């Protein structure tokens, strides 16, 4: 039983995907121990059944294990789904993935390795994961352009890039999509990014559209995260910040009651209402959350309701940075 989920076009690129994608990172990495592989394959199959055809991974997630999981899960649907993955890191001396490497020869090596792990003949959307200041963005775009000519990549994307970088890259090889964080509690993209993307005809793929889980309303100051959970080092997730930021959850709860929805659905529906070329990629490891997230596609806001949400959320000063300092340096470059 396959459901038809609404489709959206990512800008003017011609890349059309389901209105919601599925972020797969947390299945293997970053948010506590890796989930059971068989269960995650089953979850990805359910997502396809429910109309999701857009899946997000990266070589660095795991490393490698998330691409392998996504590749195995989606092999039966080859050619029917869109898989996005990312390049741009190399392991440093400690084996941790904090060194950037977007040299053209490295991009080509990563592409070959990702094709094998994903069990595909072509990567649908290949993002530069973070901007590497050591390599001119024109060279990065040129390398992906070569891969597109060779038939190994279909579309080029950037992640967390600044507007100047996006413009330079786009002039060499059209950028189909930009992936960056955007949600009701991280609205900075509205300042420069969204107008530039609209002008250039580039789609926007918000990750962490539920604020790394916070906007579901299920996290409070007493929540304990596993020792391997990335949120332990995120300033916005300190107990003090979580306590201070509950007012955002109160706002979502109020709207959710009126809309007969959940806070998570309101947060996702709000994002979908911003622009027709925005495709959020909430991640989950739970079937009921997947179903809940998909339900957001059916929630519509009137202009008055959107203004009310904007006005109310503008009054809330969100506490805490969204990244620890060393990672914050890598965004918006």
- Helix-helix angle 163-172:193-200, to 10 degrees: 20
Question: What's this model's pTM, rounded to 2 decimal places?
Answer: 0.96
For residue 257, what are the CA distances in angstroms to 198, 215, 254? 33, 15, 5
Q: Read off φ and ψ for residue 281, nearest 5 degrees.
A: -125, 70
- Helix-helix angle 287-295:263-274, to 10 degrees: 50
Category of 294 on φ-ψ map: left (φ > 0), alpha (ψ -120 to 50) or beta? alpha
∠ CA(49), CA(51), CA(294), 5° rounding?
A: 105
For domain 7-212+275-299, give the fold: TIM Barrel (3.20.20)
Catalytic choice (61, 127, 155, 182): 61
* Residue 155: active-site member: no
What does the DSSP assignment read for 257-273?
Answer: HHHTS-HHHHHHHHHHH
- Length of the chain, please? 333
Percentage of the chain modeled with pLDDT above 90: 89
∠ CA(283), CA(289), CA(293), 5° rounding?
A: 75
Q: Is residue 291 predicted with pLDDT exceeding 60?
A: yes
Confidence at residue 91, expressed as pLDDT on a 0 to 100 scale: 79
Q: pLDDT tens digits for 306-324?
A: 999 999 998 899 999 999 9
Q: pLDDT tens digits for 86-136?
A: 999 997 777 677 789 999 999 999 999 999 999 999 999 999 999 999 999
Mean pLDDT lowest for which of 61-65, 139-143, 292-296?
61-65
Percentage of the chain modeled with pLDDT above 70: 98
Q: pLDDT tens digits for 233-256?
A: 999 999 999 999 999 999 999 999
Q: Is residue 35 predicted with pLDDT exceeding 90?
A: yes
Side-chain half-sphere exposure of 137, counting CA atoms within 13 A: 26
Which stretches of the chain are assigned E, i.e. beta strand?
7-9, 16-18, 22-23, 54-56, 82-87, 89-90, 99-100, 123-128, 153-159, 175-181, 203-207
Q: Is residue 1 predicted with pLDDT exceeding 60?
A: no
Q: Where are the domains of the chain?
A: 7-212+275-299
Rounded CA gap, 96 and 17, in Å? Answer: 33
Q: pLDDT tens digits for 43-77?
A: 999 999 999 999 999 999 999 999 999 999 999 99
CB-count burial class (<10 Å; 0-12, 13-18, 19+) for 136: middle
As a whole number, the mean pLDDT across the chain is 95
Confidence at residue 2, expressed as pLDDT on a 0 to 100 scale: 62
Structure tokens at 91: 């392991």
Closest listed residue to residue 240, CA positions, set 128, 167, 321 = 321
CB-count burial class (<10 Å; 0-12, 13-18, 19+) for 158: buried
């Amino acid at each position: 039983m396959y459901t038809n989920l609404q489709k959206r076009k990512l800008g003017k690129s011609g890349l059309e995907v389901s209105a919601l994608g599925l972020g797969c990172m947390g299945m293997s990495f970053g948010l506590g121990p890796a989930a059971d592989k068989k269960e995650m394959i089953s979850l990805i199959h359910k997502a396809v059944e429910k109309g999701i055809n857009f899946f997000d991974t990266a070589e660095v997630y795991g490393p490698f294990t998330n691409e392998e999981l996504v590749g195995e899960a989606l092999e039966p649907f080859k050619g029917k789904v869109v898989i996005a993955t990312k390049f741009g890191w190399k392991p440093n001396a400690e084996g941790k993935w904090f060194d950037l490497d977007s040299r053209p020869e490295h991009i080509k090596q990563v592409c070959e390795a990702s094709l094998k792990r994903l069990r595909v003949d072509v990567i649908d959307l290949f993002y530069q994961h973070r901007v590497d200041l050591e390599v001119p963005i024109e060279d990065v775009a040129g390398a992906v352009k070569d891969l597109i000519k060779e038939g190994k990549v279909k579309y080029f994307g950037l992640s967390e890039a600044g507007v100047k970088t996006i413009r330079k890259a786009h002039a060499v090889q059209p950028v189909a999509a930009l992936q960056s964080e955007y949600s009701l509690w991280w609205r900075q993209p509205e300042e420069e990014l969204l107008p530039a993307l609209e002008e250039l005809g580039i789609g926007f793929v918000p990750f962490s559209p539920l604020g790394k889980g916070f906007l579901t309303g299920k996290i409070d100051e007493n929540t304990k995260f596993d020792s391997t959970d990335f949120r332990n080092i995120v300033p916005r997730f300190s107990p003090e910040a979580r306590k201070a930021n509950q007012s955002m959850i109160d706002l979502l709860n109020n709207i959710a009651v009126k809309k007969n929805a959940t806070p998570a659905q309101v947060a996702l529906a709000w994002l979908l209402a911003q622009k027709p070329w925005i495709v959020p990629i909430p991640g989950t490891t739970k079937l009921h959350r997947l179903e809940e997230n998909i339900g957001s596609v059916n929630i519509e806001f009137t202009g008055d309701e959107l203004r009310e949400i904007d006005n109310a959320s503008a009054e809330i000063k969100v506490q805490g940075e969204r990244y620890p300092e060393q990672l914050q340096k890598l965004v918006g470059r």
